[in-house]
Structure 1
Amino acid sequence: MPEQPQTSRGAATYQRILDAATEEFAQHGIAGARIERIVTAARSNKAQLYAYFGDKEGLFDAIFLGSLERITNVVPIDADDLADWAVRLYDEYLRRPDLIRLATWTRLERRPQGHLVEMHQHYDDRKLRAIAEAQDAGRVRAGDPFDIMAMVIAMSMAWSPVSNVYAASSQEPDEVHDQRRALLRDCVQSATAAGRSHASPS
């Protein structure tokens, strides 16, 4: 765990390092990020960075896990309205595209298979329980709650920075985003509606 600073001046330096490192890692990945650029942008030095975070890997961990906490807290799941959850995730990707890039680098450089983080249960359990409860109440279609969660998140990322088709930008006209939100909402509602039958094997 990072060593938290004890003074307001130290806290300001700590935050500048986090901000500079977030931009650096999002742009260059883990291997490509350079500590020299980070401390220069943060108006700090290597000694402070290493005292707070240990090393470059520790710094990335602090940033990436913090980004997961942010998305969990800023965009909490509503299993009774998964379509609205997907739309709110879409909006968060517009506000913070760097968070999606951090996840992409993690997938490319650290965990090409399986869960994105080792402590995935910390981030997934509440979502999975909420989906399972909605299923039990007949509000969400049957199926593995994890697969339903993964599908809804993937749909929300259709225009995100990791899209192979088109990456949206907050600079685009509001009506364009409204059209995408409406389409996303309709598609998620259709895909997760209770009572949908499973496809029969051919």
Structure 2
Amino acid sequence: MSYDSAATRARLLEAAYREFAERGLAGARVDRIAAAAQANKQAIYAYFGSKENLFDAMLAERLSVLSDTVPFDPDDLPGYAGALFDALNATPELLRLTNWRALERNDTGPGWVESHTAKAKELRAAMGLRDEATAIDILEIVIAVSSAWVSVPSELRTVGSEDPDKRQHAHRAVVVAAVTAIRDALTND
């Protein structure tokens, strides 16, 4: 039987995704990741060098998938916010991972600065903003508004409605309206 290093690496990243999302960087165990990936611990160190590097590689891969799933459209910020809301609600583990990273590390993840800077440049041009710092602030607000629903306890998601899907749809509409109001306030000075 031949060894498929790409398949092993992919299994390690998938197992790491589940382990880190559940337990965070500090609580995750390399032994559990290796066992879940049907690999040995040494494979983690051979491919990634450390548990922290595995976390970074896994998170970068997942954020890349999110970026592909929800392409940034600076000309339709409310649409982007709604699509981001949908994607994050479909994968709440991703938001949990970014929260773990923020709690357990004091640096930015690989590619984060470059990604936000590129989006800020596009947003600055599309909205006619004076500087990229303002555009980055707007992006952070859009991300915060779009992701807030994911962290709402499930008991609160049904308040005012017996249908959770209907309530989620209503919340999405609020996200889109909020981002529309932000965009309009900033462009109608």
Question: TM-score band, normalised by the shorter chain?
Answer: 0.7 to 0.9
1:62 & 1:118 partners in 2: Cα distance?
8
| Bigger helix fraction | 2
Counterpart in 2 of 1:176? 167
1:77 & 1:168 partners in 2: Cα distance?
27
Question: Does residue 43 of structure 1 match 2:38?
Answer: yes
**Counterpart of 1:158 in 2: which secondary structure?**
helix
1:91 to 86, 92, 101: 86
Question: Does residue 128 of structure 1 match 2:128?
Answer: no
Deviation, structure 1 residue 69: 1.8
In the TM superposition, what are the counterparts of 1:40-189 in structure 2 within 5 Å?
40-111=35-106, 116-117=108-109, 119-136=111-128, 144-161=134-151, 163=152, 173-189=164-180
| Equivalent residues of 1:160, 1:168 under 8 A apart | no
Deviation, structure 1 residue 119: 4.4
Q: Number of paired residues?
A: 181
1:127 & 1:48 partners in 2: Cα distance?
35
TM-score, normalised via structure 2 length: 0.84
Deviation, structure 1 residue 121: 2.9
Deviation, structure 1 residue 155: 0.7
TM-score, normalised via structure 1 length: 0.79
Deviation, structure 1 residue 88: 0.7
The structure-2 alpha-carbon separation of the partners of 1:87 and 1:117, relative to structure 1 and needing over 3 Å to count, comes to same
Q: Which runs of 5+ in 1 are unaligned?
A: 1-6, 198-202
1:17 & 1:130 partners in 2: Cα distance?
35
Deviation, structure 1 residue 72: 2.1
2:180 & 2:14 partners in 1: Cα distance?
36
**Counterpart of 1:62 in 2: which secondary structure?**
helix
**Counterpart of 2:144 in 1: which secondary structure?**
helix
Deviation, structure 1 residue 126: 2.2
Deviation, structure 1 residue 40: 1.1
The structure-2 alpha-carbon separation of the partners of 1:160 and 1:21, relative to structure 1 and needing over 3 Å to count, comes to same
The structure-2 alpha-carbon separation of the partners of 1:133 and 1:8, relative to structure 1 and needing over 3 Å to count, comes to farther
1:26-69 deviation per Cα after TM superposition (whole angstroms, max 9, x unaligned): 11111110011111111111122221111211111111121222
Which one-letter code corresponds to 1:145 in the other structure?
A
The structure-2 alpha-carbon separation of the partners of 1:58 and 1:145, relative to structure 1 and needing over 3 Å to count, comes to same
1:59 & 1:118 partners in 2: Cα distance?
12
